[in-house]
């Protein structure tokens, strides 16, 4: 079954890069990796997604290993507003079921 594994929590100093790892060793060859975040009491917010190549947008960068078994979300200059739970998400192959897992609670410290 599709599954993601992330650290339960991480701290990051304000202004520094936050590197959030995710293991998705069971991912199928044509499935994307998605990252969302959830700020307290709000619905999750889309950040970025990727298949094989590294991706960058205005919010973050996504580094995917060559074997696609893991990835890292990078917030280049974390701010206090980036404090949230970050979810790495994959789809169970052959379904529309996206597996969120328990996520990483990132705390950005002043």
Partner 1 sequence: GAGVSQSPSNKVTEKGKDVELRCDPISGHTALYWYRQSLGQGLEFLIYFQGNSAPDKSGLPSDRFSAERTGGSVSTLTIQRTQQEDSAVYLCASSLESVGLTEAFFGQGTRLTVV
Positions in the binding site for partner 1 (CB under 8 A) = 32, 34, 36, 41-46, 49, 87, 89, 91, 95-103
Return the residue matching tokens 């520094």. Answer: 16
CB of 88 to partner 1, least distance (A): 10
- How far, CA to CA in Å, does 62 sit from each of 36, 95, 109, 110? 12, 24, 22, 25
Residue (36 or 70) nearer to partner 1, CB: 36
Residue (14 or 59) nearer to partner 1, CB: 59
- How far, CA to CA in Å, does 109 sit from each of 45, 50, 62? 21, 28, 22
CB of 108 to partner 1, least distance (A): 20
Residue (81 or 110) nearer to partner 1, CB: 81
């Amino acid at each position: 079954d599709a599954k993601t594994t992330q650290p339960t929590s991480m701290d990051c100093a304000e202004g520094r890069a936050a590197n959030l790892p995710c293991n998705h060793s069971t991912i199928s060859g044509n499935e994307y990796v998605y990252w969302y975040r959830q700020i307290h009491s709000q619905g999750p917010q889309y950040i970025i997604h990727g298949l094989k190549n590294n991706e960058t947008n205005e919010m973050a960068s996504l580094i995917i290993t060559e074997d696609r078994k893991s990835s890292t979300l990078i917030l280049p200059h974390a701010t206090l507003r980036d404090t949230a739970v970050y979810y790495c998400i994959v789809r169970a192959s052959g379904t529309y079921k996206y597996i969120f897992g328990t996520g990483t609670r990132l705390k950005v410290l002043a």
